[in-house]
Amino acid sequence: MPETVLETQGLTMRFGGVLAVAQVDFRLASHELRCLIGPNGAGKSTFFKCITGLLQPTEGQIFMRGRETTRWPAHQVASRGVGTKTQVPSVMDGLSVFENIWLAARRFLPPQAATRKADETITRLALGPIARGSPGRLAHGERQHVELGMVMAGDPWLVLLDEPAAGMTGGDVERLTEIVEEFTRTAAVVVVEHDMQFIRSIARIVTVFHRGAVLLEGHVDAVLADPAVRSVYLGQAA
Amino acid sequence: MREAGWSRELTGTLVAAACAVGVLPMLVSTYTLTVLVIYGMLGLSLGLVWGFGGILCFGQAAFFGLGAYTYAIAAINIGESTVPMLLAVAIPAGFAALLGAMLFYGRLTDVYLGVITLVVTLILHRFMNATAGSDYVIGNARLGGFNGIPGFQTLNVPGHPASYVWGDSLYYFCAACLLLVYLLVSALLRSSFGRIAVGIRENETRAALMGYDVPARKTVMFTAGAAIAGLAGALFANWAEIVTPRLFSLGQSADIIIWCIVGGLGTRIGPVLGAAGLSYLKFLLGQQGLIHNSVVSGAILVLFVLFLPGGIAPVLANAWRSVTQRRPRRRSPRRRGPRSSLASGDA
């Protein structure tokens, strides 16, 4: 059985009286690609934020590669090699695309190596034509790619992608699928997504969130055929 | 490429500074120029913290005042000026490190940060005003309440307490200090630390998700700014030969912010020019009784915010570029654009 790289036990997040994440037990194996689906407000993004340290969970524990990381600040989690793409693209608008990616690489590499890494990442993601401009002027889909470049430049072993396909056109989504496949060669990947087309094209194991808890977990075909899933998720989406 | 850019910039800065330092005394008295240079340094300190670190500190005057008071108190107790000068940098820096750590590890941002730094300044202002009488003594130095502390040893040649640095020499000394600080700030902003600081200014969450310790880095930036303000304060004490609680006043804090906005936030030279220019204007206006100073600075601030929100420095930089680029271009401007936006302020 492959090594477990990410595990949560009884992870719970309350905002006042609202239970956003309820007792979630989650396990992810190395090099696994997992999709999280569920209706809006199911707690997927909150779950992500607890893992990355942007939110401190109310209860429960998080383990990464056997080490407990519960309540670690975000920068410490990231320094362990966790790359995160947030739901709304989080990029540095006042800097160029190159500088955005350079800063991500610089965290783990000396300056010159970071420059090489940034150039390499830009080539891999075909960001060349926009590399010298600011990401502030780009379309949503392109900003997503810039953010993916920042994740990639850090060479993470755990990649968390929150709605990477949002705002992307058909061609972009195809490119994204390739990028995600590429990530799985070196990392375990968790993707939160609404785009069913995209989910079907990449997913193997899918975890369904509903009202903060895990409703079901299983192979993509089985999950999407499940009547309970269809009623909570696909039913509402339609 | 970067090394070449740095040496070109270094030469340019040195030449420009030498010209300015040499020519200005023909137009304005060195006594006035000295304080303009000191205010330039104070402007630069907030320009660094706010313009590049994204930390809006309403209390830069606190570090300026602390530097001045530290110098005065230490000079009375020690006599020779070298150690007091060093203390005047170290004590505001230490105070800023503590205050900054509390603010940044407490995740205070934006308006809360502004309010707290402002309140700290007001507390110091109140406190220093209330220190009249013989109960408030540090060593041999009486704090003196609203009268302040006069009569301390002013700057001397290190090791020779009787050879004072004053008048024209003080002016050249202050100018050299400003140049040195300016070059150190430039080097800091070119370093990875400076580039990451600009990244934090742009997007703190992203910087944290990249793995950068945002509170620690902001604390360091805040401390660097306070050290510069402290040095400016010590030089001011030497120029004025008295320190008073007015150094901590609300007006002083507001002035520094206005200098930065008018000069150009996110540039290095902007706050220096803004500080020197507006202070000189204030000096000229002080010689007439028709219109009050603060009305004019307020009007200038409003006009700049409305019509020139980027400040003077970018305008000057553009003008300079359009002059120099009339000749055939030797290097592609595209190459300069993004790199220089990080090391920032072509001006």
pLDDT tens by residue, A127-183: 888 889 899 888 888 888 899 999 999 999 999 999 888 878 878 888 888 999 999
Is B210's CB within 8 Å of A54's CB? no
Report yes or no for ipTM above 0.85: yes
- A23-71 pLDDT per residue, tens: 999 999 988 999 998 888 888 889 999 999 999 999 999 999 989 999 9
A-interface mutation test, from B105, B209, B218, B340, most A Cβ less than 10 A away? B209
Is A99's CB within 8 Å of B338's CB? yes
Q: Of A62-76, A199-213, B11-25, which gets the smallest average pLDDT? A: A199-213
Give the whole-angstrom CA distance, residue B140 versus residue B68. Answer: 17
pLDDT band at B343 (very low <50, low <70, confident <90, very high): very low
Q: Could you give the C-alpha distances from B166 to A13, B77, B154, B171, in angstroms and in order?
A: 64, 21, 8, 8
Q: Which whole number is the average pLDDT over B157-175? A: 92
| C-beta atoms surrounding A119 within 10 Å | 16
Structure token digits, residue A69: 């990381």
| C-beta atoms surrounding B126 within 10 Å | 11
Chain A: nearest CA to B40, how far in angstroms?
26
B-interface mutation test, from A51, A80, A103, most B Cβ less than 10 A away? A103
Tokens 């320009």, residue? B47
Amino acid A40: pLDDT: 83
Amino acid A51: pLDDT: 93
Does the pLDDT of residue B108 top 70, yes or no?
yes
Give the whole-angstrom CA distance, residue B202 versus residue B200. Answer: 5
User: Which of A66, A50, A84 has the alpha carbon at shortest distance from A156?
Assistant: A84
Would you call B210 an interface residue with chain A, using a CB distance cutoff of 8 Å?
yes
Would you call A79 an interface residue with chain B, using a CB distance cutoff of 8 Å?
yes
Is B201's CB within 8 Å of A108's CB? no
Q: Which whole number is the average pLDDT over A188-200? A: 87
Chain B: nearest CA to A75, how far in angstroms?
4
Q: Is the dihedral of CA B52, B58, B63, B65 positive or negative?
A: positive
Would you call B122 an interface residue with chain A, using a CB distance cutoff of 8 Å?
no
Chain B positions touching A106 (Cβ under 8 A) are 192, 195-196
Report the top-level CATH class of A4-237: alpha beta
Q: Which whole number is the average pLDDT over B117-142? A: 92
Q: Which residues lie closer than 8 Å to A168 by C-beta, 6 or more apart?
A: A140, A141, A144, A176
Would you call B187 an interface residue with chain A, using a CB distance cutoff of 8 Å?
no
Give the whole-angstrom CA distance, residue B165 versus residue B159. Answer: 12
| C-beta atoms surrounding B101 within 10 Å | 17
Map out the domains of chain A as residue ranges.
4-237
Q: Which residues lie closer than 8 Å to A97 by C-beta, 6 or more apart?
A: A122, A127, A130, A131, A132, A133, A134, A135, A138, A146, A149
DSSP A182-208: HHHHHSEEEEE---HHHHHHH-SEEEE
pLDDT band at B270 (very low <50, low <70, confident <90, very high): very high
Would you call B209 an interface residue with chain A, using a CB distance cutoff of 8 Å?
yes
Amino acid at B248: F
Q: Could you give the C-alpha distances from A184 to A118, A146, A164, A189, A208, in angstroms and in order?
A: 20, 19, 15, 6, 21
B-interface mutation test, from A48, A88, A92, A134, most B Cβ less than 10 A away? A92
Is A78's CB within 8 Å of B208's CB? yes
Give the whole-angstrom CA distance, residue B260 versus residue B225. Answer: 13
- B291-312 pLDDT per residue, tens: 888 888 889 999 999 999 899 9
Q: Looking at the partner chain, which of B213, B334, B337 has a beta carbon nearest the beta carbon of A75?
A: B213
Is B207's CB within 8 Å of A93's CB? no
Tokens 């304060």, residue? B233
Chain B positions touching A119 (Cβ under 8 A) are none
Give the whole-angstrom CA distance, residue A201 versus residue A164. Answer: 14
Amino acid A39: pLDDT: 84
Give the burial class of A230: count Cβ atoms within 10 A of its Cβ; 0-12 exposed, 13-18 middle, 19 or more buried. Answer: middle
Is A75's CB within 8 Å of B202's CB? no
At B139 the three-state DSSP class reads coil
Structure token digits, residue A178: 């390739």
Q: Decide if B226 contacts B53 (C-beta within 8 A).
A: no
User: Which of B281, B274, B104, B100 has the alpha carbon at shortest distance from B204?
Assistant: B104
Domain count across chain B: 1
Q: Of A139-148, B29-38, B192-201, which gets the smallest average pLDDT? A: A139-148
Amino acid at B29: S
Q: Looking at the partner chain, which of B192, B198, B334 has a beta carbon nearest the beta carbon of A132?
A: B334
Q: Kindly report the average pLDDT of chain A as a whole number.
A: 88
Does the pLDDT of residue B341 top 80, yes or no?
no
Domain of B246, in residue numbers: 2-343
Is B211's CB within 8 Å of A78's CB? yes
Q: Which residue of A has its CA nearest to B202?
A: A92
Instruction: Give percent of chain B with pLDDT exceeding 70.
Output: 93
Give the whole-angstrom CA distance, residue B25 versus residue A49. Answer: 59
Give the burial class of B328: count Cβ atoms within 10 A of its Cβ; 0-12 exposed, 13-18 middle, 19 or more buried. Answer: exposed
Which helix (DSSP H) or strand (DSSP E) does residue B16 occupy? helix B2-23
Q: What is the DSSP letter of A155?
A: -
Does the pLDDT of residue B188 top 80, yes or no?
yes
**For chains A and B, what is the number of CB pairs under 8 angstroms?**
85
Amino acid B1: pLDDT: 46
Would you call B202 an interface residue with chain A, using a CB distance cutoff of 8 Å?
yes
Chain A positions touching B212 (Cβ under 8 A) are 75, 107
Where b means 16+ CB within 10 Å and e means fewer, A44-53 reads bbbbbbbbbb
Amino acid B84: pLDDT: 96
